[in-house]
Amino acid sequence: MPETIVKDIENTEEIERSHILIVDDQLSLLYSLQALLQINGYQVDLAKSGSEAILKLQDFDYQLLLLDLQMPGIDGLEVLEFVSQANLDLETIIVSGDTSFDSIKGAMRLGAYDFVRKPYNPEDFLTTVRRSLEHRRQEKQLLKTEHFLGESERLHRYIVNHSPDFIYMLDGNGVFTYVNSVAEDLLGYKQNELIGSHFSTIIHPHNADDVHHFFSEQRTGDRATAGVEIRLLVNESSPLVKSFDNYELIVELNAMGMYEESGSTQKSFVGTLGSARNISERKRTEERISHQAYHDLLTQLPNRILFDDRVNQAFAHARRNGQKFAILFMDLDRFKLINDTLGHMMGDLVLQRVSERVLDCLRGEDTLARFGGDEFCLLLPDAPSKESVASVAEKILKAVRQPFSVNNHELYLSMSLGIALYPDAGKSGEVLLKNADIAMYHVKGNGKDGYCFYSDSFNRDSNFLTTEREIENALEKQQFQVFFQPKVDPSNHVIVGMEALLRWQHPERGLLYPADFIAAAEASKLMIPIGDWVLRRVCEEVVRWQKQGLPQIKVSLNVSLVQLREKNFAETFIRTLQEFKLQSEFFEIELTEQGLNKGEQEVTKQLRVLRDFGVSVTIDDFGRGYSSLSYLQNFPVNTLKIDRSFVREIEENQNQSCLADGIAMMAKGLNLNVVGAGVENLHQLDYLRNLGCREVQGYLYSEAVPAQEAMTLLQKCPAEGPHFSLLH
């Protein structure tokens, strides 16, 4: 067997025997990474926190560190600082959902080799692991070689020629007098092609003026060129060029002037000694990380962070030049049907195609962003009139209405657009975006498939969103009420829980349901004080039940994504239960599937804190959003509540399986509880009981009732457990 093949086999075996430490506070990710790596022959240790990681790094020698950035206590950057200060001989790959460019850039500066974004592709992830271990092996081999060669002139020349850096010498006129053999590998030039040529031959014309003095440096000591990034040209006529990624090379330049004695006190400049290290791969990695931080991965459109930045630029330009601009909030109509009937892979393809069509309608200076799901936002930085914006909106609607042919399916879509003009509809980005959203919902409420400009009259429309001032007034005047709907064990009809539901007793419009005002409350963040009020009101009612000697049952509260984004949400929730001296195991929070699937890190953190304290987590309206096994496995979920629309599909003498069957099977496989909502007849009740639902709720038993009526229900037959009597 040839010697090179033997060495390659030995190197591969050495890499696969490498000892790896995975650091993450997310246990599901820890164990999945451990399984993936062990299957591929690696030795793996786990650390659930930054402090545990540091202890293990002190006690064991690892070749690779897989590190999450965001962890409670000692975070990933602090672990990297320890690795750097301790001068540990290992490579580090960041495995994180944190897409902040500053965080990742900081990690790279602290010595991280690469970045893998959660959720990761297993094949790409293993490739990154192998590449990092190979990089470490090569660097160690180079260090061994340098140490072995010693310090003689012959060996120095050997080192120079085998250095990964391009090393050169110039004479006083900037002509190459020496280049090492790396010139051919990096630039496509043989040594004799460069020697005798002026250095400008390989300088990129775009930065020739800037780098002239750097490349032909005459200074020495601290003033000499150090760590300057420049671009060099690759020899296009070289046969090696076909294998190069680009015709230019990004390098980090270090150079100093060389002098010789020309008299007793005089020294004369004789040339420049420099080295250029190829950092193209590092720059590409930084660019990739930057792109991921500011773009949606599915459509490659700007995300909310980049969009907000562009809006700030539009504000500055508009104020300076007295111009107008527009924000359009766009939402696909009935997109959920595509996900429900054709699957989410088809839904993703449709979103990509829609984004392409909308982009074809825009100018180069316009910004189209995806906020998540089927929501898009468009910035038109120069909008001289309503007519010009309306023309763009009509063009987009026409493009989206054209049939889509995706994977042999012909789909017909439409879109609802809400438009907010600066300064008429608001003088801040947050207000403009909120008002564009309001206008979009106005379109939805009037038949969809159209556009609408925001008007102040929307906030006075009794069939639309209410104003912030009215909601604030409702809080002050205690117009909100908490109703309760029983959750019942279908096997014996005993009440086993209560769902707390918010109602608004409006002085003019009567009793309002959440659908009438929650969107406005969330947009204005008034949902946070409303949620705090609901929790305290529920706790007061539970204490009242206890004083009446009623049996303890679990109470569930609906929680908004806006609340969960607050860093102190879980802390406030726990502190409130402790204040009322209530046990956490009798409380449950419910959130919609759409909210949970966004996968926000802060939301996940809050849910974990609550679960660890003993509060259960239920996904409400399950099946209506972007169902995915991955988020069910990664999030701290206890229960799935089958949406009432699927329960409504359960009909007598129906032979076909319902979606409820699939949800129940999924829950059983993941060891989750199942609740059926919207039960209206005995057939639905029997069907759900046979599916394994431990709890149901619906009009068959009781609608949501005021607090006093709820207590009356609980007082029936307390010895046997409050229950209903149903006639079969």
Question: What is the model's pLDDT at position 69?
Answer: 86
Separation CA 702–CA 487 (nearest Å): 9
605 CB contacts (<8 Å, ≥6 apart)?
Answer: 72, 570
Asked whether the predicted pLDDT for residue 546 surpasses 50, the reply is: yes
Same fold flag, 295-460 and 468-714: no
Separation CA 695–CA 639 (nearest Å): 10
Alpha helices (H) in 514-566, listed in sequence order = 518-523, 527-547, 561-564
Question: What is the model's pLDDT at position 343?
Answer: 84
Residues 254/273, Cβ–Cβ less than 8 Å? no
Q: What is the topology classification, in CATH, of domain 3-149?
A: Rossmann fold (3.40.50)
Q: Where exactly are the structural domains of the chain?
A: 3-149, 153-285, 295-460, 468-714
Residues 306/100, Cβ–Cβ less than 8 Å? no
- Cα distance from N-terminal residue to C-terminal residue, the chain: 82
Where does 295-460 sit in CATH, by number? 3.30.70.270
344 vs 162: which has the higher pLDDT: 344
Q: Measured at the alpha carbon of residue 326, what is the angle toward residues 323 and 331, in degrees to the nearest 5?
A: 175
- When pLDDT is averaged across residues 412-422 and rounded to a whole number, the result is 91
Residues 275-327: tens digit of each pLDDT: 988 888 887 877 777 777 788 888 999 998 899 999 999 998 888 888 899 99
Structure-token match 């959720």, residue found? 119
Tell me the range of 122-126, 341-345, 515-519 where mean pLDDT is highest: 122-126
Convert 360-391 to b/e letters by CB count within 10 Å (16 or more is b). ebbeeebbbbbbbbbbbbbbbbbbeeeeebee
- When pLDDT is averaged across residues 446-465 and rounded to a whole number, the result is 67
Residues 56/76, Cβ–Cβ less than 8 Å? no
282 vs 2: which has the higher pLDDT: 282
Mean pLDDT of the chain: 83
Residues 371/594, Cβ–Cβ less than 8 Å? no
DSSP SS3 for 21: strand
Backbone dihedral region for residue 562 (phi beyond 0: left; psi -120 to 50: alpha; all else: beta): alpha
Residues 633-674: tens digit of each pLDDT: 667 888 888 877 778 777 765 655 567 787 888 878 778 888
pLDDT grade for 264, boundaries at 50, 70 and 90: low
Question: What is the model's pLDDT at position 498?
Answer: 95
Structure pTM? 0.42
Separation CA 361–CA 1 (nearest Å): 61
Sign, Cα dihedral of 687, 693, 695, 697? negative
Separation CA 302–CA 23 (nearest Å): 30
Residues 43/19, Cβ–Cβ less than 8 Å? yes
Question: What is the model's pLDDT at position 709?
Answer: 93
Question: What is the model's pLDDT at position 9?
Answer: 46
Specify the CATH number for 153-285; select among 3.30.450.20, 3.40.50.300, 3.40.630.30, 1.20.1250.20. 3.30.450.20
- When pLDDT is averaged across residues 411-424 and rounded to a whole number, the result is 90
**Class of residue 571 by CB neighbours under 10 A (exposed 0-12, middle 13-18, buried 19+):** middle
Residues 169/271, Cβ–Cβ less than 8 Å? yes
Level-2 CATH architecture, domain 468-714: Alpha-Beta Barrel (3.20)
Residues 25-81: tens digit of each pLDDT: 988 888 888 999 998 889 999 999 999 999 999 999 999 999 998 889 998 899 999
The DSSP secondary structure of 33-53, one letter per residue, reads HHHHHHHTT-EEEEESSHHHH
Separation CA 558–CA 409 (nearest Å): 38
Residues 456-500: tens digit of each pLDDT: 656 544 444 446 678 888 988 999 999 999 999 998 889 999 999
Residues 706-717: tens digit of each pLDDT: 999 999 988 875
151 CB contacts (<8 Å, ≥6 apart)?
Answer: none
**For 723, which DSSP code?**
B
